[in-house]
Amino acid sequence: MNHNYQKDMSGCGISGIMNKKGVKIPGEEIIRSIVLQRDRGNGLGSGYAGYGIYPDYKDYYAFHIMYDTKKALDDTEGFLEKNLLIEKAEDIPTKKTKRIQESPLLRRYFVAMNGASEDFHFEEDSSEDDRIVKLVMRINEDVDGAYVFSSGKNMGAFKGVGFPEDIAEFFRIDEYKAHIWSAHNRFPTNTPGWWGGAHPFTLLDWSIVHNGEISSYGINKRYLEMEGYKCTLMTDTEVVAYILDLLVRRHGLSIKLACMVLASPFWKDIDAMPEDEREIVESLRVIYGSALLNGPFAILFGHRRGLVGMNDRIKLRPLVAGEKGDYVYMASEESAIWEVCPDPDRVWAPRAGEPVIAELDKDVKE
């Protein structure tokens, strides 16, 4: 037996915390939950996403952008000035840590559409979100050395190369409060460990953290590119954020139906369903077959109204959920829930392909 083979097929850790009443949760809580799963990563990536962190700019899109060079920064800021109203632009607050002494240039911009654009002709009936997506895709594809790694309203992603405690300290996550948090500890197996390749992956207010492999990446990527998305980030997880945006925001599917597309039941199980249910699931499978995710995975995805966790169709990656009053917890390991909630009302392992869908109460304003 070759004992030098070190590829860990179950690596990566994910954590999520949410309060259904919109109560703000200190960043320290999500840090503790993901740091407990430190052994699931190898120091080549970690990140956090928080919702409700920018209440003073909640009506603006918050662009977080990383740059490899000053030229990339200058080119991108010139592009933004031509196409958007910039309410505020500043460096993302960071501090040097023992392990992170250097990083890409990191800036954030609170922006809105300006009603006109020097570089784009938008369709008259296109929404603000459609236009923002188009602008994000243009920067990521065309500006060498620039990458928009967060673009939603009243939310932000913070990520880079390092262990969870390193990235938390570097981005000062303990200084933020959010009503929804997700976090990731990376163990890359098939894609490079670089700042842009760390999780979460985002688009608008969608944020994805993922453990596993999306073996359907090729067909998912081709399908998305026919719909106008550009996959440029050298990792399979990117497609999940874009598929959700397509299914839910653009095509109007519910979160539950979108999850059924991502992890559709097997045909033998579909055949055994009651007729009404079978017709719906068959239609989704036929129409959105190219959006089906194959391979072993556990994912958490956040959005402005909630947090969702789910496994692949045969549960090849771990996922555990818990509840305590208005709080919902999801993680790769049960211990990561107990670390921040020592007396949960309920802890369970979701079944294969069945999503855990948590949503803010209807009267909660984002």
Q: For residue 268, count other CB atoms closer than 10 A to its CB.
A: 7
d(CA 114, CA 109): 14
Q: At 293, is the secondary structure helix, strand, or coil?
A: coil
Of 12, 231, 259, 341, the catalytic one is 12
| C-beta of residue 53 within 8 angstroms of C-beta of residue 154 | yes
15 pairs with which residues across the strands?
183, 331
Dihedral sign for Cα 342, 346, 349, 354, please: negative
As given in the structure block, the two tokens for residue 163 are: 């262990």
- Alpha helix (H) residue ranges in 235-350: 238-244, 255-262, 267-271, 275-287, 334-338
Catalytic annotation present for 259: no
Burial class (CB in 10 A: 0-12, 13-18, 19+), 43: middle
Residue in 177, 205, 214 with CA at minimum distance from that of residue 301:
205
Q: Strands of the chain (E only): list them.
A: 13-19, 25-26, 46-51, 61-67, 84-91, 105-113, 146-150, 155-160, 177-178, 180-185, 201-203, 206-212, 297-303, 306-311, 320-324, 327-331, 346-348, 356-359
List active site positions.
12
